Amino acid sequence: MFLIVGLGNPGEEYEHTRHNAGFDTVDKIASEIGVRYWKNECGALTGKGAYHDIDVVLAKPQSYMNTSGGPVKQLMNAYGVSPDHLVVIHDELDIDSGTIRVKFGGGHAGHNGLRSICDKLGTRDWFRVRCGIGRPPGRMLVADYVLSLPKKDAADDFAQATDLGCEAALFLIEHGLEKTQQKFN
């Protein structure tokens, strides 16, 4: 079984913002594997399905980005998922908009959702699907940028990154890290 967690912020005001790339990607995975029923559990919306006979729990923590680690840890405990079967999907400033990167382990690069998960799990060793959103233009504040809706070409790039994130996460659980990195990185 794999736990695939998309990071984001709950609430209508945050829907489809750059910071919610994880939520949007998990929604695409849900559509791809036929998850139509979501329930509240362990501080997250969860949906269960399977991909090529691999059991999958999809999750969207509802505790806001900065405290995502609590629900992630609770879900891992509830489902008996080890860190090497955890896939976290999130937005990434340091990757060009419209592209993704997949890796195992690493730091949090100032991303508060990742920091929270690292702190709660006591390890940094889990899979990450990093959806590129690029850097804010000019002197725009990072917080304003990540919490804004992408427009025009940026919206197309955002959709492309979440589509690729969906494809990569499913490929990863079936084929492993090395093949996934060769195909997507």
CB 44 within 8 A of CB 3: no
Which residue in the list 16, 19, 108, 111 is annotated as catalytic?
19
Q: What are phi and psi of 176, to 5 degrees?
A: 90, 175
Known active-site residue 111: no
CA dist., res. 91 & res. 24, Å (int): 10
Q: Is 40 exposed, middle or buried (0-12, 13-18, 19+ CB in 10 A)?
A: exposed
Catalytic amino acids? 19
